[in-house]
Amino acid sequence: MQLPFTTLSAFRALMTEAPGADSAASNAARDRNGQLTKPPGALGRLENLAIWYAGWRGDAQPQINAPQVIIFAGNHGVCAQGVSAFPAEVTAQMVANFEHGGAAINQLAKAFSARMDVHALSLDTPTADFTQAPAMSEAELLEALQTGWAAVDPQADLLVTGEMGIGNTTAAAALAAALFGGTGADWAGRGTGVDDAGLSRKAAVVDAGLALHDSADPLEALRCLGGRELAAMAGAIAAARHHRIPVILDGFICTAAAAVLEKTHAGALDHSVAGHLSAEGAHQRLLDALGKTPLLNLGLRLGEGSGAALAIGVMKGAIACHSGMSTFAEAGVSDS
């Protein structure tokens, strides 16, 4: 597969050149919605979701037949600071579980007939401890973005990106703080279940990273404070925009990665919806900063793309109603 960018500057340029929604398809979908056999607005947010989806697919009466779930895994040098309740070895162990079909995300992908792919990114070479040095070199960041971009199937009609990486809630908290301001205490959460001492340690680690790096530029923040799996998710979400594939964002870590794109170019996430509100404390704050309202709120905090994968069902329901219902004229039902 030939990638459309070989440098970070070229990736930035793609953000400004990305296609928008098809307004003709959106308008036609809106007209169709007004003719369906239901009172106006009776399906609530499902109606707006269907119109939004139709615009990005360029089809006033679309279908969802080929959703794709991609899980990216990476390891983090910042784990040396004791920020996780689990050892870094768990990342590789969970990748094996994904590959053998034993994780929650495997079951959810199967439940909604989604193709699932797993990409492990240099697990034997963790990123640098961002309290001591930039997490990635420019070459490593570029490679991760390219991996994410290439992982997207251009024939997919809906995308979910998920992650696995012990320590990555700390990286996501540091990235969110760099992008939107605040301190470690504002953004650090319990992640996999750290105790009060662990939470304080995470906040201090985030503050140390923010003090060390000049990360006002979003991609530079991703390079210095993020991780390979976060960068890969950003690359995949950008690729989906290029291919006009709507995206369902997962929890805090995925949303932090996606925020890099929005801060790089305003409107870069217009093709995305928030799948759910996770139990990670700062996720709501991050969604508010991006202007995203979650589809679900079930107290999930697993990661893996699980909340977004569950929201595939909501999207499928919205499209099934929009495209499959009869209009008043077709059904012979009076609309007055």
Residues 176 and 203 sit within 8 Å (Cβ to Cβ): no
Burial of 332 from C-beta contacts in 10 A (0-12 / 13-18 / 19+): exposed
Instruction: Using alpha carbons, list the distances in angstroms from residue 169 to 57, 93, 109.
Output: 33, 18, 23
**Would you call 149 exposed, middle or buried from its count of C-beta atoms within 10 A (0-12, 13-18, 19+)?**
buried
Q: Is 304 a catalytic residue?
A: yes
The 10 Å Cβ neighbour count of residue 214 is 10
Which residues are paired to 327 by β-bridges? 36
Closest CA to 299 of 273, 280, 318, 326: 280
Gap between the terminal Cα atoms of the chain:
54
Q: Residue 127 forms beta bridges with which residues?
A: 76
Q: Is 312 helix (H, G, I), strand (E, B) or coil?
A: helix
CB atoms within 10 A of CB 204: 17
**Active site members:** 304
